[in-house]
Amino acid sequence: MLSEVDVSRIIEMAWEDRTPFEAIHHNFGVSESEVINLMQLNLKKSSFKLWRKRVSGRKTKHEQLRDKSVMRAYCPTQYKQR
């Protein structure tokens, strides 16, 4: 059972264009299809549709489709120091 904090982080990671589903699975043990179900349950219908349209076929969401030179799962400016 995932905590509310875990669900929130999974949704955040799923929205990030450069975070592959494999990274979510590695961190939380949640498969791509489970992420899709989780997003559908926790987002408004219109937001879910927008997200699905964005991630469908996106190479950065699947490690096997990514350029081998990409060694990170996030944009360098994503985690800014405060």
- Give 10-residue mean pLDDT values along the chain (82 residues): 93 88 92 96 96 82 58 54 50
Evaluate whether residue 73 is within a structural domain: no
pLDDT on residue 14: 93
Q: Is residue 76 part of a domain?
A: no
Tokens found for residue 26: 């590695």
30: in domain: yes
What is the count of structural domains for the chain? 1
Residue-level pLDDT at 56: 85
Extract the runs of DSSP E, i.e. beta strands, from 1-82. Answer: none
d(CA 11, CA 43): 9
Range of the domain at 48: 4-60
Q: Does 22 map to a domain?
A: yes
The pLDDT value recorded for residue 69 is 59
Q: Is residue 52 part of a domain?
A: yes
Q: Is residue 11 part of a domain?
A: yes
